[in-house]
């Protein structure tokens, strides 16, 4: 059995707007969730880049785009797949169990027949995907999904052997319980949960990482700080389409430029505007408009500088206008509080691990091990690929498929599995962090030299073979070396 412990009182996304799935989409397909995720996906069809900075480095007036870097076209079919590893979530028992937790949304899928039952291998189930489980969106090379939809989908398709612990704050992790044959976590109310393995998927503030990277046996002394500020702050926004379009229609002053920009952006299209030390992006999803604004900033936003503060809203609006960004972004910012959500935060990445990703029976996964900047869109994807790799390498949980002579034998196999997992993932995850940091620095164009490099780099990336290099970059980022 698995205990999924979350500190939040409800199943919902906490930060961000939407996620671009590449390798993560391959993981979802391998789990047999293609049919379930398909209605919520918006396949990415194009990436268009434009510069708002003239030769002298000054921002041009709105609407006068000095440079159009080009437009990369995204293929309709994925170019990477993972072997199927899936659990049977369509059994009537699983449905009834999930209904008891009021998290399951019946979409009309039939219960699996006996011939569709999966046999357990490596503690998870494997089967070939049936044709009716795939859809046009889930087969895309890259697709966008809102964080709320992805969170809800993953939670309502939890297998029967997973118990969900909400509103639970972990205060201590013990990686060597019972002589090293198990691990445990202690909650703030004193409850202690013990198991064969503790997986720290608890983000950049990970308490599990404090234990893994600790100097003493109790896991209380950190060898390094866990994160560092990148010098960039961001605004993520998500606006419901019908709310925004109604607001634009009811506006007393028509903005033809903003309306024309929206009309030129197809569903699945992304347009990025790059200024002087700042970039702004708008993406047309099925039901939402997503927008992002990044700027170089020496100090990260404080807790008081959240989006509910009117002074922050005014400051971001003035910065967007000063950069010469299209007025569409100002309209989106105004619409977000009523018809969407906005978050304002600094961008951080995790400090390099000076120790292994695991210690005893505790192991790190995703942002807790290698939090990265969002410029390659790989944060969630790398976490999902981590999870796939860890599950692939772990010894089977089913004793009929895999028998250990004693606890020492099992412990030996688990330690080997954790080592293989880290070997398979750590180098690539570190490279993703480095490339994402570099890619973001180039796109921001802080100095004149940076902007010169950006012009050459983006034109090559987006126009060579109609985006062939861009697609190859995404394919490289999504590779999984098992």
In terms of C-beta density within 10 A (0-12 exposed, 13-18 middle, 19 or more buried), how is residue 364 classed? buried
Contact 214, 175 (CB under 8 A): no
Residues 387 and 433 in one domain: yes
Q: Tokens at residue 216, please?
A: 């003493």
Residues 217 and 356 in one domain: yes
Residues 377 and 435 in one domain: yes
Q: Which of 311, 331, 349 is the last residue of a domain?
A: 349
Residues 424 and 407 in one domain: yes
pLDDT tens digits for range 4-29: 888 887 776 666 688 999 889 888 88
262: domain CATH number is 3.30.9.60
Q: Which of 323, 349, 375 is the last residue of a domain?
A: 349
Provide the domain limits for residue 251.
229-349
pLDDT for the residue 103: 30
CA 165 to chain centre: 22
Residues 320 and 182 in one domain: no
Residue 197 domain flag: yes
Residue 461 domain flag: no
Residue 278 domain flag: yes
Distance between CA atoms of residues 373 and 425, nearest Å: 18
The secondary element (H helix, E strand) that includes residue 54 is none
Residue 5 domain flag: no
CA 481 to chain centre: 19
pLDDT for the residue 372: 94
Distance between CA atoms of residues 82 and 278, nearest Å: 36
pLDDT for the residue 29: 85
Residues 200 and 272 in one domain: no
Distance between CA atoms of residues 457 and 452, nearest Å: 9
pTM for this predicted structure: 0.83
Residue 128 domain flag: no
Residues 175 and 320 in one domain: no
Q: Enumerate residue ranges in the chain where pLDDT < 50.
A: 54-66, 86-133, 217, 219, 221-224, 339, 399-401
Residue 190 domain flag: yes
Residues 244 and 259 in one domain: yes
Tell me how many domains the chain contains.
2
Residue 2 domain flag: no
Residue 40 is classified by DSSP as G
Residues 287 and 361 in one domain: no
Q: Which of 329, 349, 369 is the last residue of a domain?
A: 349
In terms of C-beta density within 10 A (0-12 exposed, 13-18 middle, 19 or more buried), how is residue 421 classed? buried
pLDDT for the residue 425: 94
CA angle 69, 73, 74 (to 5 degrees): 135
pLDDT for the residue 67: 52
403: domain CATH number is 3.50.50.60
pLDDT for the residue 77: 66
**Sign of the alpha-carbon torsion through 421, 94, 398, 36:** negative
Residue 62 domain flag: no
Q: Tokens at residue 186, please?
A: 């202690």
pLDDT for the residue 157: 86
Contact 131, 5 (CB under 8 A): no
Contact 435, 376 (CB under 8 A): yes
Residues 283 and 342 in one domain: yes
Distance between CA atoms of residues 292 and 284, nearest Å: 12
Question: Which residue has 């490279």 as its token pair?
Answer: 431
Residues 222 and 359 in one domain: yes
Residues 214 and 277 in one domain: no
CA angle 379, 382, 385 (to 5 degrees): 150
pLDDT for the residue 42: 93
65 closest CA partner among 221, 275, 264: 275
**Sign of the alpha-carbon torsion through 70, 74, 75, 76:** negative
């Amino acid at each position: 059995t698995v205990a999924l412990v979350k500190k939040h009182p409800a199943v919902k996304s906490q930060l961000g707007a939407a996620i671009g799935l590449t390798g993560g989409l391959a993981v979802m397909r391998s789990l047999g969730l293609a049919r379930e995720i398909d209605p919520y996906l918006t396949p990415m069809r194009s990436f268009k880049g434009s510069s708002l900075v003239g030769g002298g480095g000054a921002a041009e007036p709105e609407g006068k785009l000095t440079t159009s870097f080009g437009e990369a076209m995204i293929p309709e079919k994925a170019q990477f797949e993972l072997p199927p590893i899936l659990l049977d979530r369509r059994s009537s028992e699983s449905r009834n169990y999930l209904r008891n937790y009021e998290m399951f949304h019946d979409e009309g899928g039939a219960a699996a027949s006996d011939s569709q039952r999966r046999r357990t291998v490596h503690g998870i189930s494997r089967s070939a995907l049936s044709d009716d489980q795939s859809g046009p969106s889930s087969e895309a090379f890259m697709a966008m999904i809102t964080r709320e939809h992805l969170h809800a989908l993953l939670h309502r398709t939890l297998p029967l052997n997973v118990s969900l612990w909400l509103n639970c704050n972990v205060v201590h992790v013990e990686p060597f319980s019972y002589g090293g044959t198990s691990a445990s976590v202690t909650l703030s109310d004193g409850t202690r949960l013990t198991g064969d393995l503790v997986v720290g998927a608890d983000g950049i503030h990970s308490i599990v990482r404090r234990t893994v990277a600790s100097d003493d046996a109790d896991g209380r002394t950190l060898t390094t700080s866990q994160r560092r500020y990148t010098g960039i702050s961001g605004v993520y926004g998500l606006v419901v389409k019908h709310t925004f379009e109604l607001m634009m229609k009811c506006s007393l002053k028509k903005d033809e430029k903003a309306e024309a920009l929206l009309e030129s952006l197809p569903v699945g299209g992304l347009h990025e505007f790059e200024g002087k030390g700042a970039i702004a992006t708008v993406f047309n999803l099925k039901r939402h408009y997503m927008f992002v604004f990044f700027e170089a900033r020496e100090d990260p936003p404080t807790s008081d500088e959240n989006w509910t503060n009117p002074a922050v809203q005014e400051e971001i609006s003035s910065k967007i206008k000063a950069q010469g960004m299209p007025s569409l972004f100002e309209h989106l910012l105004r619409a977000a509080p009523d018809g969407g959500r906005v978050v304002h935060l600094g961008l951080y990445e995790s400090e390099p691990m000076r120790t292994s990703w695991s210690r005893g029976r505790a192991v790190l996964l995703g942002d807790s091990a290698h939090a990265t900047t969002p410029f390659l869109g790989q944060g969630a994807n790398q976490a999902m690929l981590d999870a796939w790799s860890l599950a692939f390498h772990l010894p089977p949980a089913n004793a009929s498929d895999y028998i250990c002579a004693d606890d020492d034998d099992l412990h030996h196999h688990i330690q080997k599995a954790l080592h293989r997992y880290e070997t398979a993932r750590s180098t690539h995850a570190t490279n993703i962090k480095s490339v994402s940091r570099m890619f973001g620095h180039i796109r921001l164009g802080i100095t004149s030299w940076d902007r010169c490099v950006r012009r050459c780099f983006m034109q090559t990336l987006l126009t060579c073979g109609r985006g062939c290099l861009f697609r190859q970059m995404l394919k490289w980022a999504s590779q999984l070396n098992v």
